[in-house]
Amino acid sequence: MHQALLAALAGLGTGLSLIVAIGAQNAFVLRQGIRREHVPAIVAICALSDAVLIAAGVGGIGTVVRHWPSAVSAIACVGGLFLVGYGLLAARRAMRPAALTAEGGTVGGSLRAAVLTCLAMTWLNPHVYLDTLLLLGSVANGYGGARWPFGVGAATGSVLWFSGLGFGARVLRRPFSRPVAWRVLDACIACTMVTLGVVMLTRV
């Protein structure tokens, strides 16, 4: 029991250290959280996706991925193009302040669009596979019989992070009631997405 608890805590810390960073997925969750648009669905998709990938990594799927680099390259190519495209859309929003508002739920996109975008942000990002399947999977297997508690800890870290980011973003709602704040946020998102997309494409 003591070993399992230590492994779970190690998994929690390792998972948080990998996920708490500026990235496409986190930027998208933050924006949805501030706008209060489909937050439960977005948080659930992100957390569940991480849990599935972490479980696969702990189960040894990372070994298969390691011997199939062409699959990771293909995902990187598609994901890079998607991020660049999304970044350009964010830049377009930043240049059109009349379309930027934090008030009212009818201004935003549909649940279907938000879900599809979130799935793309998650599953078309090769770094997600490297972090979960390979890195977390390798570290977890170093714990031997306690590898599954490690995986549970890492998955718990994802749940805590995305819940805090999505539901906690509402405290920023008042500052973002002004169009200029949305212009700055979308400009930052545009820079982040385009940069990550270009880097992803150059590494293919």
204 residues of the chain, pLDDT tens digit each: 678 888 898 889 888 877 876 678 888 998 899 888 999 999 999 999 999 999 988 887 766 656 666 766 776 787 788 878 878 888 887 787 543 444 444 345 789 999 999 999 889 887 788 778 877 887 887 787 888 999 999 999 999 999 999 999 888 777 776 777 778 878 887 888 788 788 778 866
Counting Cβ atoms within 10 Å, is residue 89 exposed (0-12), middle (13-18) or buried (19+)? middle
> What phi and psi values does residue 9 have, to the nearest 5 degrees?
-65, -40
- d(Cα 94, Cα 184) in Å, to the nearest integer? 7
The pLDDT value given to residue 102:
42
- d(Cα 2, Cα 201) in Å, to the nearest integer? 44
> Alpha-carbon dihedral of residues 86, 92, 93, 96, nearest 10 degrees?
-170
Residue with tokens 């240049």: 95
- Residue spans per domain, the chain: 2-202
